[in-house]
């Protein structure tokens, strides 16, 4: 690692995952400043980059209620690196995972999503037997059609059951308006977010009128945070992509800069065409083909080969020349690498392990 500190980014072996620290630091500070003085707080989503060093910078910027993650394995990595307030914004099922979760809950404050009474009862039994307490948020489906119980009475019925279970601490509601985050039209996106999270707020009011305290509603994203944070009753925003950004999300939130890129090298070249040494195994492209930094005219394939990206209308690149590629999905791109090369003014200033890459369980 020491060998690369101070070197030019062009001298790195390829493909390499790069983070422009000037841009990423600006993104982090910009988000923290937005939440300064607000009742609603930020709970950054670790799944974006899976890098504890980057997560530490997010928390140290301030205005954070804790950290969000998607997988139990990510939460375990966070605990190993000193984070002590973690929300797993997902359901934890199956005996092996529940045993790991309970062990984690004895070390740090951990919350998980639930949307099923049997799931909650199994969690409660294991937690009580181990002398642990697991915080739970009832996930309600506010329009995405993925996980979650229906808002209103179904959520109230589940809350009543959870309140009676030992080993669990009912903390509130999770409501993710994921169906709205990639809506290009901002007024339409705002309308969708207000409708969706309005269901969560009304569910909160229903539970509280029944005598069940709701400490938090947690949801939101990097493209909806401005809207969601203004809704009375929404307490946490689980924004993820904002530190790194990718070209697709930047179209939704242009106040943030694309700080993440993949350094690739030209393997083969002929007039009008070049082949780069990175493909589907190194670029998340679910939301569109990769783009070449500083060359918007260049065409890249919608479906990448495993190890190659064939560039049409390419400049006169030479074999061996390096090119910076912008993925359309930062989260899946980061999961493909084990190291994040942080650079400033064209030189590597640090190399951070992506300690939770590959943590699928």
Q: Is the pLDDT of residue 189 over 80?
A: yes
212 and 262, same domain (yes or no): no
Q: Note whether 199 and 267 are same-domain residues.
A: no
> Residues 37, 301: contact at Cβ < 8 Å?
no
pLDDT bin (cut points 50, 70, 90) of residue 314 is: confident
Residue-level pLDDT at 313: 87
Whole-number Å distance between alpha carbons of 338 and 184 = 32
The answer as to whether 107 is a domain residue is yes
Residue 200 located in a structural domain: yes
Q: How many CB atoms are closer than 10 A to CB 347?
A: 14
Q: How would residue 5 be classed by pLDDT, with cut points 50, 70 and 90?
A: very high
pLDDT at 1: 61
155 and 92 within one domain = yes
DSSP string, 88-116: EEEE--SHHHHHHHHHHHTTSEEEEEE--
Question: Domain check: are 87 and 201 in the same one?
Answer: yes
First to last CA, the chain: 28
- The reply to whether 224 falls in a domain is yes
- The CATH number linked to 329 is 2.40.37.20
- pLDDT, average across residues 312-337: 96
Condensed to tens digits (0 to 9), the pLDDT of residues 72-93 reads 999 999 999 999 999 999 999 9
Residues 230 and 319 in one domain: no
pLDDT higher than 70, residue 315: yes
Average pLDDT, the chain: 97
Co-location of 169 and 314 in the same domain: no
Whether 161 is in a domain gets the answer yes
Examine the pLDDT at 302 and tell me if it is beyond 90: no
- To which H or E segment does residue 265 belong? strand 260-270
**Residue 222 confidence (pLDDT):** 98
Residue 344 and residue 198 in one domain? no
Q: What is the pLDDT of residue 3?
A: 86
One domain, residues 164 and 76: yes
Q: What's the confidence (pLDDT) of residue 191?
A: 98
Confirm whether 56 is domain-assigned.
no
Residues 215-259 pLDDT 10s? 999 999 999 999 999 999 999 999 999 999 999 999 999 999 999
Domain carrying residue 197: 66-234
* Residue 15 CA: distances (Å) to CA of 10, 205, 231, 275: 11, 51, 43, 13
Q: Is residue 32 part of a domain?
A: no
In a domain, 330, yes or no: yes
| pLDDT at position 2 over 80 | no
Tens-place pLDDT, residues 133-182: 999 999 999 999 999 999 999 999 999 999 999 999 999 999 999 999 99
pLDDT score of 348: 98
Question: Which H helix or E strand runs over 170?
Answer: strand 168-175
Of the chain, the percentage scoring pLDDT greater than 90 comes to 95
In a shared domain, residues 226 and 116: yes
Split into its structural domains, the chain has a count of: 2
The domain boundary, picked from 202, 234, 266, lies at 234
Calpha distance 62→29 (Å, rounded) = 9
Do 297 and 168 reside in the same domain of the chain? no
pLDDT at 318 exceeding the cut of 90: yes
Q: 332: pLDDT confidence band, cut at 50, 70 and 90?
A: very high
219 and 310 co-located in one domain: no
Instruction: Determine, yes or no, domain membership for 296.
Output: yes
Do residues 222 and 106 share a domain? Answer: yes
- Residues facing 340 on adjacent strands: 352
Residue 292 predicted with pLDDT over 70: yes
Domain harbouring 195, CATH code: 3.20.20.10
Q: Which of 204, 234, 264 is the last residue of a domain?
A: 234
């Amino acid at each position: 690692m020491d060998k690369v500190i101070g070197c030019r980014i062009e001298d790195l072996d390829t493909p390499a995952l790069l983070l422009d620290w000037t841009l990423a630091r600006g993104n982090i500070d910009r988000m923290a400043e937005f939440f300064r003085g607000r009742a609603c707080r930020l709970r950054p989503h670790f799944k974006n980059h899976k890098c504890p060093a980057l997560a530490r910078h997010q928390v140290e910027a301030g205005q954070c209620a804790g950290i969000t993650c998607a997988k139990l394995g990510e939460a375990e990595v966070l605990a190993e690196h000193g984070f002590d307030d973690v929300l797993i914004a997902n359901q934890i099922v199956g005996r092996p995972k529940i045993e790991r979760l309970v062990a984690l809950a004895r070390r740090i404050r951990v919350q998980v999503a639930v949307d099923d009474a049997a799931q909650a009862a199994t969690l409660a039994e294991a937690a009580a037997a181990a002398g642990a307490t697991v915080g739970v948020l009832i996930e309600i489906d506010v329009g995405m059609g993925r996980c979650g119980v229906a808002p209103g009475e179904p959520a109230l019925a589940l809350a009543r059951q959870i309140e009676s279970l030992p080993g669990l601490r009912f903390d509130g509601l999770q409501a993710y308006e994921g169906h709205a985050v990639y809506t290009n039209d901002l007024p339409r996106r705002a309308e969708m977010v207000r409708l969706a999270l309005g269901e969560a707020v009304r569910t909160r009011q229903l539970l509280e009128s029944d005598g069940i305290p709701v400490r938090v509603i947690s949801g939101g994203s990097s493209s909806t945070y401005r809207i969601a944070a203004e809704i009375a009753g929404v307490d946490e925003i689980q924004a993820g992509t904002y530190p790194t950004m990718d070209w697709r999300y930047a179209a939704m939130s242009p106040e943030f800069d694309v700080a993440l890129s993949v350094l690739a090298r030209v393997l083969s070249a002929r007039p009008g065409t070049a082949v780069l040494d990175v493909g589907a195994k190194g670029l998340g492209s679910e939301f569109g083909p990769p783009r070449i930094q500083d060359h918007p005219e260049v065409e890249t394939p919608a479906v990448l080969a495993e190890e190659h990206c064939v560039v049409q209308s390419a400049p006169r690149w030479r074999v061996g020349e390096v090119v910076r590629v912008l993925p359309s999905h930062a989260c899946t791109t980061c999961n493909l690498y084990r190291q994040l090369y942080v650079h400033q003014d064209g030189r590597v200033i640090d190399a951070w392990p992506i300690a939770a890459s590959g943590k699928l369980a």
